[in-house]
Amino acid sequence: MDRDKLLDIYTRTMRIARFDEQMRSVIMSGKLATLYYTVRGQELVTAAMMAAANKDDYLVTTYRGQHDQIAKGVPLDLLIAEIAGRETGTCKGKGGSMHITHPATGVMVTTGVVGSGLPIANGLALASQNRKDGKITICCFGDGATNIGAFHESMNMAQLYGLPVIFFCQNNRYGEHTAFADHTKVENIALRAAAYNMKAIHVDGNDTEAMYAAAVEAVEHARSGKGPVLLEAMCYRMMGHFFGADFSYMPPDHLAEMAAEDPLPKLRKLMLDHQFSEEELDGMVATLDKEIEDAMTFAFESPFPSAAELTVDVFEEKIVEGRYGA
Amino acid sequence: MSKITMGQGLNRAIDEAMAEDEGVILLGEDVAAKQGGGVFKISAGLTEKYGEHRIRATPISEQAIMGACVGAALTGFRPIAEIMLMNFVTVCMDQIVNHAAKLRFMSGGQTNVPLVIRTTTGVGVGFGGQHSDMLEAWFAHVPGLKIVTPSNAADAQGLMRAAIACNDPVIFIENILCYGLQSDDPGANHVVPLGKAAVTQEGRDVSIITYGRTVLDALEVAGQLKDEGISAEVIDLRTIAPFDEEAVLASVKKTGRAIVLHEAVKAFGTGAEISARINEKLFGQLKAPVVRIGGAFSAVPMANVLEQAWIPNKDEIKEAARAAVKWGN
């Protein structure tokens, strides 16, 4: 695999991993009380996906989406400030971790409703198709989202119109507390593409080279005008549904399998195989840690939004007392 | 003077907006030429002019229609989603309430959703419980949505132009019984601003505040009341949310009596909000309690006799006006 591309994927992966660890630590310390959906275990799949896409491609993701946003390039200072509810955050503190938006890096919607991103992704892709702007839309969701009606409506419509969209299913094997086999009877999600006559790719998301090759194949397909792709990357959600939540419902053999497949040590080994040294890798992580530390400082030193924000951004015009029953 | 129907007015407004801006697109079931230009023919002739990539006939997939329109709107397009009947918005409420309405706010103003949701409904044609509801109160309760409904052809044309130009989501309710209504032709590029009510009949004694098809009933009743010496003013809100509070309060200040009339179920309807605001702002100046008139508290029935009993009728409006005028006299 191309060494520069591998380095790119490694940097994106470790930026996510270090961010996630620091977020959990700052929540554990009591400094920040917030609902946080940890992305531990899903760092690599999205790093490889976004490394295959362009910065101006559109992204739609979900509440468990910080890894997707970071991989897409959302600046960490704005991201952390948003999660901490500060006025300097991407959304002035009005969205929070479940609703990160950052059009400058193509992050158009982060939804807190499972499966709701797919119909919207079609619209972004439809606009690109009409404009012929060459952009594709990447829509991230989990295996749990594939049993809601919106998934099926969207898959059918995307294929009907031949939209440039990648339905990127990060199959982390749990929908909230329910294991894959307890919510779905097909063997995998990629099989469902056949029902829509859609191209499907099924890949081991913890295998960097396979994952990146799958991402490139999906991007080329969507960008060339051949229509949508359902790309299913197998991975693991290595902690509870949200950070701090109990996950004793995960059986011991699943936990053991998960630990053996952890993408981070596997990627580090691949980097060493590609003649990156331990010192180089540690140095890169130290640089990322500094970036995250600076972003944390920026976020926690930023002011909270003012109450006047409640009258702004509801409509284009400000809410005026009397006119809206306020 | 030449006349246009409400259907023609809507078609013209969409046609004009599409000619002006490539980003105006229409998505809905049966809307393209192949399917006949929509069940009510509102998009007739548009596919031939603008192509199937802009007039997109969709599968029967309301969530996918609404989501696609939200997504396209986020990029600066001005999509129009046609939801064939208002009851079918219930299957895409998530996209409307959680996404279209909130994305501007939740993104801190980085994105917005310039979307028009066109939909049809109406009581009186025997379509029964799942094809007749007026659900505007549901949407009026959600910050971020505007709601419009015309009572005549010229307003339909002008409000549609304004709705398409609006940078926020607008729910545009068309009454199934009103498509054939005729107005004097307002001409090309007619715009009726959102949020502005019209005083369709001036009067001194009682204000009838209403919108949509019941404006016609109110006008007819106002004409009949004249013979009894009661001078009724009729306010056509045109925009239901945010409604023109200034116009409503000015009228009720003058008459001291208000009847809020709508086709939707009376209980917890928009009439309750309008009535509450009149009471809050004009408490000392009212000569009579504010009266609400609306649909019965049941599903809309099919049998004509039941349907007519369900819907607010002209005698009820007339009686309410007479009773109001008796107060303070």
**What DSSP assignment string belongs to B74-123?**
HTT---EEEESSGGGGGGGHIIIIIIITTHHHHTTTS-----EEEEEE-S
Token pair 């007026």 is found at B134
- Of B151, B178, B130, B179, the C-alpha closest to B8 is B179
The answer to the question of residue A313 being in a domain is no
Indicate the helix (H) or strand (E) that contains B240: strand B239-241
Indicate the helix (H) or strand (E) that contains A228: none
Catalytic residue among B16, B62, B82, B263: B62
Which residues, at least 6 apart from B22, have a Cβ–Cβ distance to it below 8 Å? A130, B54
CA A308/CA A137 separation, integer angstroms: 35
**Which residues of chain B make contact with A316, given a CB cutoff of 8 A?**
104, 112, 166-168
Q: What is the pLDDT of residues B24-77, one digit of tens each?
A: 999 999 999 999 999 999 999 999 999 999 999 999 999 999 999 999 999 999
Q: What number is the ipTM of this complex? A: 0.97
Which residues, at least 6 apart from B154, have a Cβ–Cβ distance to it below 8 Å? B4, B9, B183, B184, B185, B186, B190, B192
Per-residue pLDDT of chain A (326 residues; tens, 9 = 90+): 899 999 999 999 999 999 999 999 999 999 999 999 999 999 999 999 999 999 999 999 999 999 999 999 999 999 999 999 999 999 999 999 999 999 999 999 999 999 999 999 999 999 999 999 999 999 999 999 999 999 999 999 999 999 999 999 999 999 999 999 999 999 999 999 999 999 999 999 999 999 999 999 999 999 999 999 999 999 999 999 999 899 999 999 999 999 999 999 999 999 999 999 999 999 999 999 999 999 999 999 999 999 999 999 999 999 987 666 55
Q: Report whether A31 contacts A82 (CB < 8 A).
A: no
pLDDT in the model for residue A323: 66
The answer to the question of residue A136 being in a domain is yes
The answer to the question of residue A167 being in a domain is yes
Is pTM beyond 0.95 here? yes
CB atoms B59 and A156 under 8 Å: yes
CB atoms A153 and B68 under 8 Å: no
- List B residues 217-246 in contact with A (Cβ-Cβ < 8 A): 242, 245
Which residues are registered as beta bridge partners of B209? B235, B260
First to last CA, chain B: 44
Q: Where do the H-state alpha helices sit in B232-289?
A: 245-255, 270-282
Neighbours of A106 (CB within 10 A): 24
CA B275/CA B61 separation, integer angstroms: 37
- List A residues 32-61 in contact with B (Cβ-Cβ < 8 A): 58, 60
**Which residues of chain A make contact with B59, given a CB cutoff of 8 A?**
153, 156-157, 160
The answer to the question of residue A310 being in a domain is no
Four-CA torsion A210, A213, A214, A218, nearest 10 degrees? 170
Report the SS3 class of residue A199: strand
pLDDT in the model for residue A320: 85
**A149-to-A115, A118, A179, B92 alpha-carbon distances in Å:** 8, 10, 20, 10
CB atoms A94 and B106 under 8 Å: yes
Q: What is the pLDDT of residues B94-120, one digit of tens each?
A: 999 999 999 999 999 999 999 999 999
Which residues, at least 6 apart from A181, have a Cβ–Cβ distance to it below 8 Å? none
Neighbours of A182 (CB within 10 A): 10
Average pLDDT over chain B, rounded to an integer: 97
CB atoms A119 and B242 under 8 Å: no
Output the six-digit token pair for B253: 């200040």
CB atoms A92 and B108 under 8 Å: yes
Neighbours of B8 (CB within 10 A): 21
**Which residues of chain A make contact with B107, given a CB cutoff of 8 A?**
90-91, 94-95, 99, 101, 313
Give ∠ CA B21-B23-B27 in degrees, rounded to 5.
120
Task: Nearest by CB to B63, from A101, A149, A161: name it.
Answer: A149
The answer to the question of residue A263 being in a domain is yes
**Which residues of chain B make contact with A123, given a CB cutoff of 8 A?**
67-75, 79
Q: What is the CATH number of the domain that holds A19?
A: 3.40.50.970
pLDDT band at B13 (very low <50, low <70, confident <90, very high): very high
Backbone angles phi, psi at B85, to 5 degrees: -135, 145
Q: Which domains does chain B have, with CATH numbers?
A: 3-184 (3.40.50.970), 198-326 (3.40.50.920)
Output the six-digit token pair for A237: 């959600």
> Is A322 within 8 Å of chain B by CB?
yes
Token pair 């080279």 is found at A209
pLDDT in the model for residue B328: 72
Residue in B74, B245, B270 to test binding to A, most A beta-carbons within 10 Å: B74
**B307-to-A324, B88, B174, B175 alpha-carbon distances in Å:** 33, 20, 19, 16
- Of B297, B279, B300, B277, the C-alpha closest to B289 is B279
CB atoms B95 and A120 under 8 Å: yes
- State how many domains chain A has: 1
CB atoms A113 and B72 under 8 Å: no
Q: Report whether B235 contacts B199 (CB < 8 A).
A: yes
Size of chain B, expressed as the number of residues it contains: 329
Give ∠ CA A175-A177-A178 in degrees, rounded to 5.
60
Indicate the helix (H) or strand (E) that contains A142: strand A137-142
CB atoms A130 and B53 under 8 Å: yes
Residue in A78, A107, A159, A314 to test binding to B, most B beta-carbons within 10 Å: A314
Neighbours of A29 (CB within 10 A): 8
Residue B21 has pLDDT above 90, yes or no: yes
CB atoms B63 and A154 under 8 Å: yes
**B54-to-A7, A158, B39 alpha-carbon distances in Å:** 43, 15, 18
Question: Burial of B66 by CB count in 10 Å (0-12 exposed, 13-18 middle, 19+ buried)?
Answer: buried
Q: What share of chain A is helix, strand, coil (3-state, %, to 5)?
A: 50, 10, 35
The answer to the question of residue A311 being in a domain is no
CA A288/CA A311 separation, integer angstroms: 38
The answer to the question of residue A109 being in a domain is yes
Size of interface A-B (CB pairs under 8 A): 158
pLDDT in the model for residue A325: 59
**Which residues of chain A make contact with B58, given a CB cutoff of 8 A?**
157
Report the SS3 class of residue A108: strand
Neighbours of B171 (CB within 10 A): 30
Residue B62 bears catalytic tag? yes
Q: What is the pLDDT of residues B186-222, one digit of tens each?
A: 999 999 999 999 999 999 999 999 999 999 999 999 9
CB atoms B111 and A323 under 8 Å: no
Q: What is the pLDDT of residues B245-255, one digit of tens each?
A: 999 999 999 99
Q: Report whether B99 contacts A99 (CB < 8 A).
A: no
CA B177/CA A61 separation, integer angstroms: 42
Residue B131 bears catalytic tag? yes
- List A residues 167-226 in contact with B (Cβ-Cβ < 8 A): none
Output the six-digit token pair for B97: 């309430």
| Share of residues in chain B with pLDDT > 90 (%) | 98
User: From the centroid of its chain, how far is CA B202?
Assistant: 22
Catalytic residue among B29, B82, B99, B131: B131
What range defines the domain where residue A36 resides?
A: 3-300
Check residue A304 and report its DSSP letter. Answer: P
CA A229/CA A231 separation, integer angstroms: 6
The answer to the question of residue A217 being in a domain is yes
Question: Burial of A303 by CB count in 10 Å (0-12 exposed, 13-18 middle, 19+ buried)?
Answer: exposed
**A154-to-A146, A167, A296, A299, B115 alpha-carbon distances in Å:** 11, 10, 38, 37, 19
Which residues, at least 6 apart from B185, have a Cβ–Cβ distance to it below 8 Å? B1, B2, B3, B4, B154
Task: Nearest by CB to A120, from B59, B71, B242: name it.
Answer: B71
